[in-house]
Structure 1
Amino acid sequence: MKIISLLLLVICIGTGCSSQKKADMTSTEIEYSAVSRGLYKTVVVKNQTVSITNTRGGEAVESKIDTAKWNKIVSEFEKINLDSIPNLKAPTEKRFYDGAAIGNLKITQNQKTYETKGFDNGFPPKEIEKLVNLLTDFTKE
């Protein structure tokens, strides 16, 4: 009887933790932007929808994210240490001489914002590379 009680307790605790992570993603907004003199792209992902803006002052195009792609985004997001985002180092410096647009990742969760320093568009820090690539895939579709 004790074993059954222990198993039920473990299952309840495990289920509570996983549902908590899903609840956090519903209130999380992930924004990627790439900006230069001739380029302006913004991708905003929130609650299984994506909004894409391709011009300054332009209107955002919003669409629903399919479940498979959303699960990939959630999976990559969970691997990121939010507190380390402002300290990530860019692997290249082409943006300093107009060799690349300036990329930026901003995550807002629980009314707290985590934002990277600028990095070269197409060359994000390795800690966020997979997530950024999933976001930039929306601009290619």
Structure 2
Amino acid sequence: MKILTAFLIFLFLGKGCDNATAQDMGNTVIEYTASSRGFYQKITVKNETLTVSRNRNVDDKAIISKINPSNWKSVVLLFQELKLEDLKELKAPSEKRFYDGAAIASLKISIKDKNYETSSFDHGFPPKEIKQLVDKINSLVKKD
């Protein structure tokens, strides 16, 4: 009987965590920005919506699109693997951005009033801890 009770408690707590994470994603904004002298791209992911800006100007005509359910599920799963408090400590694997060999990129995650942001890294070469998420976000953008 104790085993059955423990199993049911585990089952309900596990479901509660999934719902809490899904609810947290409703309050989460993921921003990936990459820029150099001749290139700018800001990708914003929020509530199953992708917004892409390619102009630094305020009057930029951002492209807004819906993220399909399978891609959204992938983004959520990759997001769940992140240790948000450690984002600021991540080290870039390369330094091409220092000599214009790559655009300067960063990842910022906002949850309600709390912000988590990486230090700069090379566009296309993110730290390994966020590589899968950054690659997934970039893969959602339609190439011109």
TM exceeds 0.5? Answer: yes
- Could you tell me which residue of structure 1 aligns to residue 135 of structure 2? 133
2:21 corresponds to 1:26: no
Q: CA RMSD in A?
A: 1.4
User: 2:74 and 2:5 mapped to 1: Cα distance?
Assistant: 35
Q: Taking structure 1 as reference, are residues 16 and 90 closer, same or farther at Cα in structure 2, changes over 3 Å only?
A: same
Any idea what SS the aligned residue of 1:139 has?
A: coil
1:134 Cα deviation (Å)? Answer: 0.8
Q: Of 92, 98, 101, which aligns to 1:99?
A: 101
1:44 Cα deviation (Å)? Answer: 0.1
Q: Deviations over 1:59-90 (max 9, x none)?
A: 11111100100011111111110001001000
TM-score, normalised relative to structure 2: 0.91
Equivalent pairs counted in the alignment come to 141
- Could you tell me which residue of structure 1 aligns to residue 122 of structure 2? 120
Matches within 5 A, 1:1-141: 4-57=4-57, 58-141=60-143
In the alignment, structure 1 segments of 5+ residues that lack a partner are: none
Deviates more, 1:68-77 or 1:52-61: 52-61
TM-score, normalised relative to structure 1: 0.93
User: 1:130 and 1:5 mapped to 2: Cα distance?
Assistant: 38
Any idea what SS the aligned residue of 1:123 has?
A: coil
Name the aligned partner's letter for residue 41 of structure 2: K
In the alignment, structure 2 segments of 5+ residues that lack a partner are: none
Q: Deviations over 1:74-108 (max 9, x none)?
A: 11111110001001000110111111100110000
